[in-house]
Chain A
Amino acid sequence: MLAYLIRRLGQAALVMAVMATIVFFGLYTVGNPIDLLINPEDDLAAQEAAMRRLGLDQPIWVQFGHFVGGIFEGDLGTSFVHNRPALELILSRLPATLELVFFAMLLAVLIGVPLGMIAGLRPDAPSSKAIMAASILGFSIPNFWQGLMLIMLFAVYWGILPAGGRGDTVDVLGIPVSFLTWDGLKHLFLPALNLAIFKMSLVIRLARAGTAEVALQDYVKYARARGLSPSRVIGVHVLKNILIPVVTVLGLETGNAIAFAVVTETVFAWPGIGKLLIDSINLLDRPVVVAYLMLTVFMFVMINFLVDIGYSLLDPRVRIQARGR
């Protein structure tokens, strides 16, 4: 188990190194950040001074050498724009995004799995057809437009939920969270729903396909032949067997949602890292972009690792052989 974890972390380090190199040089070719950062009316001496301060006067490989050296000291560079360490900047925004994504995923699973199972158990019922039609809609509606419509409905017409922002937060272990206050929860709901609808549709389709397949298996009929209650047959015997594809896709989707929640965060003015990334790309704030992407790769690897652990909890046949038999 430990060897497995170490191997996974090694792979992660390799991917992060390759990705960081590509992005570092890639952003260099896109443009010179100094053109965006300094006042064009400054004189040449002031421009030179600013470039020297940011280290941009040196050849690119020297800059890369500094960057690599910094990594080993735990320093991913300092933001050109905010003049704060890039990692600190990202971590200050990360909790908001993680909270948003977590609640979106929770909604997607808690609503998506039961609806998908209903549709899978009774494929011909009108309710099932309605669920499947709704899931196609959820798939197809552009995220930003859907967000605007949610704001219009809940915030403008009914006026029951706020249109944007994060609301009151409470510090838990030094991290600000909003789900513990009523105001924060109200602010959280719409963006989380907006982010969840696509995932929910995905989960519905996966759960339906899985249920339709599993319901025909001998072991389900056998469970019924033993006189188990319908809730036990569906809630244990069927459910446990359909969760593997759901967990796989949710793992990938969680990574995606963290890295690219930017549309939802922009529409709902949610102060997360997606917004930070877009701003940083626009300003060619290289240290922030590189650090952000490295963190994203790391999170993807970690999520995949958690998914693998989830598999082994769900299906004993893929259990990582820890104990010798």
Chain B
Amino acid sequence: MTAPILSVNGLTTVFETRIGTLTAVNDVSFTVGPGEVLGLVGESGSGKTITGFSILGLIDRPGAIRAGEIWLKGTDLRKLAPDALRRLRGDRIAMIFQDPMMTLNPVLRIDTQLIETILAHRDVSRGRAREMAEAALAQVGIPSPAERLRAYPHELSGGMRQRVVIAAALMLEPDLIVADEPTTALDVTIQSQILFEMQKLMAARQTALIWITHDLTVVAGLAHRVAVMYAGRIVETGPVDDVLDRPAHPYTHGLIHSIPSATARGQRLAPIRGMTPSLIHLPEGCAFAPRCGRADAACGTAPAATDIAPGRWLRCHHPLEAGA
């Protein structure tokens, strides 16, 4: 296996609130290699977005990274000075946000926002930066890019804006892109176009990609490996086909079986019982135990990460048999 681009080790991010300390990301570890797509899956509030922001060093007070290492190609990002980390952001690591309507600054033109990004990282002339921006827009399939450059965000559709944001992420050829549900706010046809183009561009450039989503169907089509998060922890990870076809963690199993499918037409859906726990009052031991049909006394202690196959591990005292 080639050396990973990103290697996260024991990342723990907490938020100090008035009612207590909230552990949003709890001892999270994973790696992403060149050209690899890691799907980071979980419900709202499972900590997947905070994991993304932690990698970029964009955790604001009252939040803070409490522990862990974030290695990007041999550099521990947590040990970098704020200014050095800022220079990496947008250049070596790019992020794509969830809602294209809210991401671009409404009062600045597209060219202003793309060119400022280039000038923040590259010592090039303004004219050269404009050419680079135009080329980036063309690359993500935006028609007449020179004209679009002069537009304001509100003059473009949602899909077009998300393409602009994707172009901004690809523009400086980063090593890693963190994409936080970039297609969730778009309609399905635009979503599939964008997924297709992202996949093509990632493969061509060997960029590592972390795709944060709650949508398992997107992950199935796009990712190589998947990590399932629950209440701040990764509960199961492995190659995407293995995990989705033969989930071993009861939570993963529940997630997959709560998706409506064409073959189960007319049958009741099988939702996971109960609610996502509050991160402040997490149960002792396995956080999923109160909602889990297989829980017993052993689940009162936190399950350790257990390898069940090469590149595949989970945290559960009572895993489902592989293939169940």
Binding site for B on A (CB under 8 A): 217-219, 221-230, 232, 236-237, 240-241, 314-317
Contact = CB atoms under 8 A, between A and B. Distances in A.
A314 to B, nearest CB: 6
B282 interface: no
B108 A226 contact: no
A218 B95 contact: no
B107 A232 contact: no
B108 A227 contact: no
Interface stretch (B72-80, B116-124, B204-212, B302-310): B116-124
B152 A218 contact: no
Interface in B31-48: none
A221 B109 CA distance: 17
Interface of B: 56, 58, 86-91, 94-95, 97-99, 102-109, 116-117, 120-121, 152, 154-155, 165, 168
Given A222-B103, A317-B106, A228 B90 contact: yes
Contacts, number: 77
Q: Which 10 A-B pairs have the closest CB atoms?
A: A227-B90, A226-B90, A227-B89, A218-B102, A316-B152, A219-B105, A225-B95, A226-B117, A240-B107, A222-B103
A99 B108 CA distance: 33
B90 A217 contact: no
A227 B88 contact: yes
A241 B105 contact: yes
B108 A225 contact: no
Given A227-B88, A227-B120, A221 B108 contact: no
Query: Which of A217, A222, A223, A236 is most buried by chain B, counting CB atoms within 10 A of its CB?
Result: A222
B168 A221 contact: no
A315 B91 contact: no
A221 B165 CA distance: 13
Nearest to A222: B103
A223 B105 contact: yes
Given A226-B120, A226-B168, A317 B152 contact: yes
Given A227-B120, A228-B116, A228-B117, 10 more contacts: A219-B103, A221-B97, A225-B89, A227-B90, A230-B86, A232-B120, A237-B108, A314-B107, A316-B107, A317-B154
Contacts of A316: 106-107, 109, 152, 154-155
A212 B99 CA distance: 21
B95 A315 contact: no
Contacts of A219: 102-106
B91 A218 contact: no
Contact of B104 (A222, A236, A314): A222
B56 A225 contact: yes
Contacts of A241: 105-107
A224 B105 CA distance: 12
Contacts of B98: 218
Contacts of B56: 225
Contacts of A224: 58, 86, 89
7 contacts: A222-B103, A227-B91, A227-B117, A232-B120, A237-B105, A241-B105, A315-B106
A92 to B, nearest CB: 42
A229 B107 contact: no
Given A227-B86, A227-B90, A240-B108, A221 B117 contact: no
A117 B87 CA distance: 24
Which of B102, B106, B107, B108 counts the most A-chain CB atoms under 10 A from its CB? Answer: B107
Contacts of A315: 106-107
Contact of B108 (A218, A229, A230, A236): A236
A229 B154 contact: no
B104 A229 contact: no
A217 B99 CA distance: 11
A218 B87 contact: no
A230 B60 CA distance: 14
A223 B94 CA distance: 11
Nearest to B169: A226
A223 B121 CA distance: 13
A228 B94 CA distance: 12
Contacts of B91: 227
Contacts of B168: 226
Contacts of A223: 105
A218 B101 CA distance: 9
A223 B108 CA distance: 12
Nearest to A238: B105
Contacts of B95: 222, 225
B121 A227 contact: yes
Contacts of A226: 89-90, 94, 116-117, 120, 168
Between A227, A240, A314, the greatest number of chain B beta carbons within 10 A of the residue's beta carbon is seen for A227
Contacts of A230: 86
A225 B178 CA distance: 10
Contacts of A232: 116, 120
A156 B90 CA distance: 57
A229 B58 contact: no
Contacts of B97: 218, 221-222, 225
A229 B90 CA distance: 11
Contacts of B121: 227
B102 A217 contact: yes
A214 to B, nearest CB: 10
